Structure 1
Amino acid sequence: MGLCSSSTNTAPSTTGNLSSVAVTSQSTRTTTTSITTSSLSVSSSGISSHVSGNSQFSNASSGDDLGPGGQILPNSNLKTYTFSELKAATKNFRSDTILGEGGFGKVYKGRIEERNGSKVSSNASLVAVKKLNSESMQGVEEWQAEVIFLGRLSHPNLVKLLGYCYEDDELLLVYEFMQKGSLENHLFGRGSTIQPLPWDIRLKIAIGAARGLAFLHTSDQKVIYRDFKASNILLDGSYNAKLSDFGLAKMASVSQSHLTTRVMGTHGYAAPEYVTTGHLYVKSDVYGFGVVLIELLTGMRALDEDRPAFQRNLVEWAKPYLANRRKLKNIMDSRLEGSYPSKAAGQVAQLALTCVEPEPKDRPSMKEVVATLEQLTDIKGRPKVPRIQNSSPRSPYRDGKQPMRHRSAIRVKDDVNRRSHASPNGS
């Protein structure tokens, strides 16, 4: 789901939501909601919270642990929008303003007019408006989770939630507008062949997304993102990565584990322990990050039913190649045309392998992932020099011909005389 630029074409995704392993209720609207302009009462997962008052978030133990620019706000600064305001901003939710669509509903590009008292200012802000689909399998709980988490979490690598709207049955969220769209579109969209992401931008995106996850994992109340994937990584005008869509996020318990009765997420990205047992760990997010790293290396989707059977699951197919730098070049995204530092690519591949280890305890922390990726920014690739193809593989000379050597005038004259005497007619 993108809070992104409408100029980016959305490619159809082959991934889908995971089905429940032990669903206690199929209803998407079982949560009691009470909203005023100043507070949001939430009973999701047994938690009671107020956006602008007390919260489930405790203060961070150390600002350094949260990464540069990250903080848990003491109070939410979210704005309450009226439905009529958002209807006007999106031109009555016109179809040509649609940026994308996900499980929650459609996302529209909007233009919010700024007011100075009773007068409308000449300035306007571009926003992304997410509108709940009444037939969506997601609902109030996911909408509340977005408000709770993004209303209190502030970090350069998290999409900024500006406000929300709740009128009658209408549930909407308003975000900052992300000019470059989603990573998914850049890797797999229709324009990805025409303008593929260069290596340095891919690394920059990986670092930004890793910082966002590390921030979530290192607060006192650890946040498990639960749905890390390429479509949830959005890019601003400078390709800075920001995590979006916190509808499935959960708070980790003291043991850093959360047992859920519903397995939610996306096929191909969800960690094996979560899919099979319902046990959710902080390091379940690390597995998803590893999958995205492999997508960045290969330019291939995590799951693709159109590929041969042995290649459909990217992680399982790519593992033998990731472990060997010589083999790695065989699966690197051909759109890079070899323009990447092989040493750095090899280290990213090794990091990806550790992230997708079957056992959570064997995976690195996101803080370790960030440190590893940041070290790779100094590794530069060699300038690409075109190779000269020889006509004969056995010849060491260009075009298969031995080059002429400089000969003196005396040698040339001797050669002419020999050819004259050797001629049958003496001419």
Structure 2
Amino acid sequence: MNLSAEGSSKTALTIGLSTAGGLSFIIFFSLCFLLYRHWKKKQFARSNLYNRNNSFMMSNFDYEQGSSLTSPIFSYGELYEATNGFDTSEELGDGGFGTVYKGKLKDGRAVAVKRLYENNYRRLEQFMNEVKIVSLLRHQNLVTLYGCTSRHSRELLLVYEFIPNGTVADHLHGSRASESLLPWKARLNIAIETADALNYLHSIEPQIIHRDVKTTNILLDSSFHVKLADFGLSRLFPLDATHVSTTPQGTAGYVDPEYYQCYQLTDKSDVYSFGVVLMELISSMPAVDISRDRNEVNLANFAVRKIQKQELDEFVDPRLGYNSDYRIKGMISEVAGLGLRCLHSEGEVRPGMKEVLEILRVIEKSGWMGEGAVKGDVELKEEARLLKCVSPYSPDTVTERWESTSSSMTSFTS
């Protein structure tokens, strides 16, 4: 009897364990199936969103903007072949939303092909924004957009003219800095042509704010003429707006302190960034360098401090002839004074790009005629006195772009 009961107990236990195991397997399988369906739905939704936006953007671009471009639509295969299959040896750098490759089209044109990192909404938005803005632009100091892939392409690609001589950053403190010194005459011309490009962007309607002015986005052709590039973060300004409220984006060391603190983007934000570029041209130092002394990491703050102490000679690249050529000394002094105005912490106090351009042209013209030396020193001391208690602020510790969950806090879209 006891044996029988024990046997029944074991049988019941076995059946119970088998049932529990079966139920556990069914539950586990069901959960896996539900998770898989949820993942597929999300992928499908993302794919639809991508395709809808891509189709909308490309259809607008194909028919509205296409006629104004040299060759607006390229096939993926054509660009794949042009870049040797996006060979890593052809990489030119990071273009903001993706990698840039050097390529050669069948018609012999050298091109720079920007390849989207990934097909998500934020990257697509930057792509749409860049196509929309650059296709409107015509200026000798702005890089030319040849076209892009169509909405039917497997990847979104932008095709730009290839600029062969690297960036200003390369020549000042980068890979080409050791090849030869960029002389002051060339640097002043770079400042003038960059200001000319920015003045054009700020003067057209609707106004365009570049929002990422820096020496790595200032390309140089074989004659060292400027081609301003990378409009992935740029913004079209509403005609009746004084500013656009948007989460700060840009590059550490160049970001307007007022924009960073108040989330208000204006054309004076580009002016601040340009002020940093002027200080790079004067000093040959990068905008942010953590290897420098703690108080010198941020170039803008470092420059203002040196100029306020009337120690410009310790800030200027000594190879430029500041202490040996009175004409160069006068021009550098005046450009430094202009840079101080651009770097003012309050946007309203900064000059507009039109005024900046006019001043730079006067400095160039009068400087080579020998009229700028004394005037430059006097004006620089006056600027230092006015800004004695004012320091610019642009984050030293940020090494990445600010990421925004939305491109704008207003109804304005790029």
Asked if TM exceeds 0.5, the reply is yes
1:247 maps to what in 2? 232
Superposed, 1:14-413 pairs within 5 Å as 32-35=52-55, 40=58, 50-51=60-61, 75-114=68-107, 124-134=108-118, 139-166=123-150, 167-253=152-238, 254-260=240-246, 262-323=247-308, 327-338=311-322, 341-378=328-365, 379-380=367-368
Change (3 A) 1:344 1:136: farther
Distance in 2 (CA, whole Å) between partners of 1:279 and 1:230 is 23
C-alpha RMSD of the superposition? 2.6
Unaligned runs of 5+ in 2: 1-45, 371-414
Distance in 2 (CA, whole Å) between partners of 1:89 and 1:258 is 39
Aligned residue for 2:336, secondary structure, equals helix
1:295/1:302 contact within 8 Å kept = yes
Distance in 2 (CA, whole Å) between partners of 1:28 and 1:298 is 48
1:69 maps to what in 2? none
- Amino acid corresponding to residue 58 of structure 2 in structure 1: L
Measured against aligned partners, the alpha-carbon deviations of 1:58-78 in whole angstroms (never above 9, x if no partner) come to xxxxxxxxxxxxxxx994555
Aligned residue for 2:311, secondary structure, equals helix
Measured against aligned partners, the alpha-carbon deviations of 1:276-299 in whole angstroms (never above 9, x if no partner) come to 121100111100000100011011
TM-score for both structures, normalised by structure 2: 0.71
1:59 maps to what in 2? none
Measured against aligned partners, the alpha-carbon deviations of 1:288-318 in whole angstroms (never above 9, x if no partner) come to 0001000110111111111110111111121
Quote the offset at 1:349 in angstroms: 0.3
Distance in 2 (CA, whole Å) between partners of 1:252 and 1:191 is 36
Distance in 2 (CA, whole Å) between partners of 1:135 and 1:52 is 20
Aligned residue for 1:322, secondary structure, equals helix
Distance in 2 (CA, whole Å) between partners of 1:267 and 1:226 is 12
Distance in 2 (CA, whole Å) between partners of 1:28 and 1:374 is 51
Quote the offset at 1:137 in angstroms: 9.4
Quote the offset at 1:184 in angstroms: 1.0
1:52/1:77 contact within 8 Å kept = no
Greater helix proportion: 2
1:294/1:349 contact within 8 Å kept = yes
Greater strand proportion: 1
1:227/1:248 contact within 8 Å kept = yes
Quote the offset at 1:256 in angstroms: 2.9
Aligned residues: 318
2:217/2:230 contact within 8 Å kept = yes
TM-score for both structures, normalised by structure 1: 0.69
- Amino acid corresponding to residue 364 of structure 2 in structure 1: T
- Amino acid corresponding to residue 347 of structure 1 in structure 2: E
2:96/2:230 contact within 8 Å kept = no
Distance in 1 (CA, whole Å) between partners of 2:283 and 2:120 is 33
- Amino acid corresponding to residue 95 of structure 1 in structure 2: T
Aligned residue for 2:156, secondary structure, equals strand
Change (3 A) 1:29 1:175: farther
